[in-house]
Chains A and B, each alone.
Chain A
Amino acid sequence: QSALTQPPSASGSPGQSVTISCTGTSSDVGGYNYVSWYQQHPGKAPKLMIYEVSKRPSGVPDRFSGSKSGNTASLTVSGLQAEDEADYYCSSYAGSNNFYVFGTGTKVTVL
């Protein structure tokens, strides 16, 4: 099972928006509405930001939003803030043989 493809880096100035893509196949991202996104600060455990493509857990700012089209999911962070600078990973359910696959990760820099 290959990792989902994410851009290595993305950046934006405070207040701007940044969108991160997550490309898989019809066996994972395209086949299920079970894409989730995780934020990871250095030395910390990942934190759930989006689940089931576009749902936000309680406590996650509405600046974070998710979507999916075909085999590609996206995470958008609007109104960038300094604390949004982190690594972001997508994940998708991949069926009962492979179960789960993560993305390659994207480092978001707030300029």
Chain B
Amino acid sequence: QVQLVQSGAEVKKPGSSVKVSCKASGGTFSSYTISWVRQAPGQGLEWMGRIIPILGIANYAQKFQGRVTITADKSTSTAYMELSSLRSEDTAVYYCAGTIVYTFDPWGQGTLVTVSS
């Protein structure tokens, strides 16, 4: 089964951007769509968007439209999530998750993004 390994923790200034990667191994990257889900400290899960790597088509939650960009590099089986105009409320753990038949499995280990001046 596919395993997803994410990039390391980031500390960013308000107004800047962050790009988190999610590398797939041990399976067929193109079999999945990749979703990004975030979890603010002590809060619940929030779906941000997804990409279909074989098509390069991305869809975003309305809340993040215009501020998030999800891309994928088929040659390296890696998906990316870039979030711009960061504010303190964007401090969260960001997860990537493989999605088949509307189900999130597997999950990456999570990447903590801290936004602080």
Contact = CB atoms under 8 A, between A and B. Distances in A.
Interface of A: 1, 3, 32, 34, 36, 38, 45-48, 51-52, 57, 89, 91, 93, 98-105
B101 interface: yes
A52 B101 contact: yes
Contact of B105 (A51, A101, A102): A51
A89 B44 contact: yes
B102 A36 contact: yes
| Residue with the highest number of chain A CB atoms closer than 10 Å, among B46, B101, B103, B105 | B103
Contact of B104 (A1, A36, A103): A36
B61 A98 contact: yes
A88 B110 CA distance: 17
A46 B47 contact: no
Nearest to B107: A45
A38 B103 CA distance: 10
Contacts of B50: 99-100
Q: Indicate the size class of the contact surface on chain B.
A: 20 to 34
Contacts of B46: 102
Given A45-B108, A51-B105, A52-B101, 8 more contacts: A36-B104, A45-B95, A46-B45, A46-B104, A52-B103, A100-B35, A101-B47, A102-B37
B25 to A, nearest CB: 16
B101 A34 contact: yes
B109 interface: yes
> Looking at chain B's contact residues, is the secondary structure mostly helix, strand, loop, or mixed?
strand
A48 B105 CA distance: 6
Given A46-B95, A102-B45, A1 B61 contact: yes
Interface of B: 35, 37, 44-47, 50, 59, 61-62, 95, 97, 101-105, 107-110
B103 A89 contact: no
B103 A51 contact: yes
A102 B45 CA distance: 6
A3 B44 CA distance: 9
B79 to A, nearest CB: 16
A57 B103 CA distance: 11
A104 B44 CA distance: 6
